[in-house]
Structure 1
């Protein structure tokens, strides 16, 4: 099993910590984590993909764990998050890479593929909806109910205060309580997630992703009313969407109707997995990713 090493990169003036596995001469795969995670959410994928012949990099996204935490909501807008991924590709001297993301990391991965298709060989999204489909579904009563926390996160300071209370006990409670597989997170795993969340400024930065996204969406809607573009651009790269069906926050209807935006799409639904799909079913996710990323045109 391939070992990993910890390194840092300066991307657009921001220090990003990342974990790296595999041979630097192999095809590059960038793994982007979600909320409230960090690079460690890919602990089962890092060695598996490296052993399969890939150079695998899993950063702590800006604001998380050991990466720098710039102040202010605007530092966590989509332009900045996409720029971090492109900057990482530049850091490794890679013209293009496979980009795989879960949850928020998947949201960013979709946007990288939309904005910079020439920099993405293949796109993998794990329980992360296409932005156009999410804008449709979030207006329904059921998804509004599921997405209540996204709106609660718009309140200043209170969400991070509540999540940070009791030494961030809500984080391991959330992970363990919503996982489909009782073995997805052991005590050591939960302790690491808790420690990462309790780092100074980490929870506020993580919640700023939601605040910045809300502001971006308001600006987008206002722009559309003034004659701007509302429809999401197409995704021009081969895409794999893996979806744990037992996700309490994101309904399976988000996996439907995507052929309007993605012409080369494969959808794999896992009925016995939750939102934390790569932790609930690591072997199956590793198989899917390896097969997909090894495919050549």
Structure 2
């Protein structure tokens, strides 16, 4: 298993952030690697090793609510203003003027917001699976509810009783057994037990994630794991200690973030790269269609035969693209 650099801590934006720092301190601009849910800075272990060995500085925080970082109690402590502010505070702690921000899944939403909210601190942006999109015409949670129903995981995550939090926390290993697998080839026409849509349509993903975890039967899951047993144990041990509420609180701010973004200029004015995964059912490549209208200096790259957990499922390809793009665009 790849060893992480030493864990360090920074006082940032009123909280303590745990982070990893590798590669030459003189390399600029460094890459700040921002994970999604339910992940950790450990999700970037392959890129930390490959990029630092290539002479590129990389910094990977456990973001607010995750891993070694603080987990404030108020739900509103996890809105997009706080999440982007944490990254600015981390740069301040490290005396870094500008960085390239790389984000996967929820981390992607955060990094696309960085040049909009903190333009003087951003040299470039890389989204992995997560595109930059126009502001929805209505509350995004209401849109998800109308399109996918009340069982859709983001809708369920709004539950003030926090039932999803308890389900995941009571079945931590099962949660990662459900999530951290490669998708089955579509040509097989079947999906693993508990992963089909409620109406049995194998082409349509089941987005009722808490119920998938409750119903999971490992003996009927033929998908290939992304994590080795030792790697999975890192996630299981960490989330057994922290629970899932911190990360789920990011979703509980989607309406608040939408309400507070009405006057935001959405044009990203820095060099940008969009890495898409061919078989991501939640964030498909088509989600990035039309991004060029909002991101004028955009390059797109498709990782074929890959599901949602791109930097862990195809680590060598993702690392190679990051190194190539960084050198070509920034020297």
- 1:279 Cα offset (Å): 1.1
- What CA distance in whole angstroms lies between the structure 1 residues aligned with 2:238 and 2:21? 18
Q: 1:269 to 1:177 in 2, by over 3 A?
A: closer
Q: Deviations over 1:21-61 (max 9, x none)?
A: 11211122110000000011001000111112111110000
1:170 aligns with 2:175: yes
Q: 1:135 to 1:204 in 2, by over 3 A?
A: farther
1:54 aligns with 2:38: no
Say which is worse superposed, 139-148 or 31-40, in terms of deviation.
139-148
Instruction: State the Cα RMSD in Å.
Output: 2.7
Partner of 2:257: 216
Q: Deviations over 1:167-214 (max 9, x none)?
A: 4521332112658893631111111112222223x4111100000123
Could you list the runs of 5+ residues in structure 2 that have no partner in the other structure?
186-222
Partner of 2:233: 191
Q: 2:99 aligns with which of 80, 97, 100?
A: 97
- 1:261 Cα offset (Å): 0.5
Partner of 1:224: none
Q: Which has the higher strand share?
A: 1
> Does the Cα contact within 8 Å between 2:180 and 2:225 map onto a contact in 1?
no
Equivalent residue of 2:269, what SS? coil
Moved over 4 A (4+): 133-136, 138-143, 177-181
- 1:248 Cα offset (Å): 1.9
- 1:10 Cα offset (Å): 0.6
TM superposition score normalised by structure 1: 0.88
- 1:141 Cα offset (Å): 8.3
1:277 aligns with 2:305: no
TM superposition score normalised by structure 2: 0.79
Q: 1:88 to 1:296 in 2, by over 3 A?
A: same
- What CA distance in whole angstroms lies between the structure 1 residues aligned with 2:144 and 2:27? 46
Larger Rg: 2
1:254 aligns with 2:296: no
Aligned pairs for 1:65-76 within 5 A: 65-76=67-78
Partner of 2:217: none
Say which is worse superposed, 112-121 or 203-212, in terms of deviation.
112-121
Q: Deviations over 1:108-135 (max 9, x none)?
A: 0000022222211121110112142777
Say which is worse superposed, 92-101 or 191-200, in terms of deviation.
191-200
Partner of 2:37: 35
Q: 1:178 to 1:140 in 2, by over 3 A?
A: farther
- What CA distance in whole angstroms lies between the structure 2 residues aligned with 1:135 and 1:243? 25
> Does the Cα contact within 8 Å between 2:105 and 2:128 map onto a contact in 1?
yes
- 1:159 Cα offset (Å): 0.8
1:289 aligns with 2:331: no
